[in-house]
Structure 1
Amino acid sequence: MCTTIANKVAISGSAKGSRGWFAVDQVCVSYDHPFHIDLEHAMMLDFVDAKAGPDARVAIELDRESARALAAQLLAAADEADAYEGNVTVAAS
């Protein structure tokens, strides 16, 4: 059964696909039936340039534990980057 768990967020960045680098302006974070990884459900990240069509897309499928580890490392690196740049970040409790 499909979960219908899907959230989009606007981002500003770049991704590298089969045709080289392209801008990405949103990511869809979902939990549903994956296309490739051998799991019933997976965390999926679709980085896209919404204006450029299906060729401007990078998809990632992860198990939930990997997704949590990735999220923790992204937050840790962002906190370190803030400290490096002299910005103050208040950690969520």
Structure 2
Amino acid sequence: MCTYIVEKVSTEGSGKGPDGWFAVTDTTVSYDHPVHASAEHTLNIDFLNPGKGASARVAVELTAQSARELIAAIQRTLEQVPPGL
């Protein structure tokens, strides 16, 4: 079953694709069928810069458990950043 769950957010950062590093301007997060991962559904994250074409994209497909662990790791890391940095 397709979930059609999709969130889009403007992003500031960088990603590395087949042509090297590029500015990431957009991120799409969805929970649906993966293209490559061997799971029924995955959390799919696409970091991209639409202005630079199809090669300016980094895609990740994570199981729900891996995505939750990643969220927790990101939160723990950000909590350790000294104020003002």
When normalised by structure 1's length, the TM-score is: 0.85
Post-superposition, which runs of at least 4 consecutive aligned residues in structure 1 deviate over 2 A? none
Q: Which is greater in Rg? A: 1
Gaps of 5+ in 2: none
Q: C-alpha deviations, 1:63-93, integer Å up to 9, x for none? A: 0000000011111111111xx2x24xxxxxx
When normalised by structure 2's length, the TM-score is: 0.93
CA positional deviation for 1:27: 0.8
1:76 aligns with 2:76: yes
1:66 aligns with 2:62: no
1:38 maps to what in 2? 38
Q: C-alpha deviations, 1:8-45, integer Å up to 9, x for none? A: 11110000111110000111110001000011110000
Q: Give the root-mean-square deviation of aligned CA atoms.
A: 1.0
- State the structure with bigger RCO (CA 8 A, min sep 6), 1 or 2: 2
Q: May I ask how many residue pairs the two structures share in their alignment?
A: 84
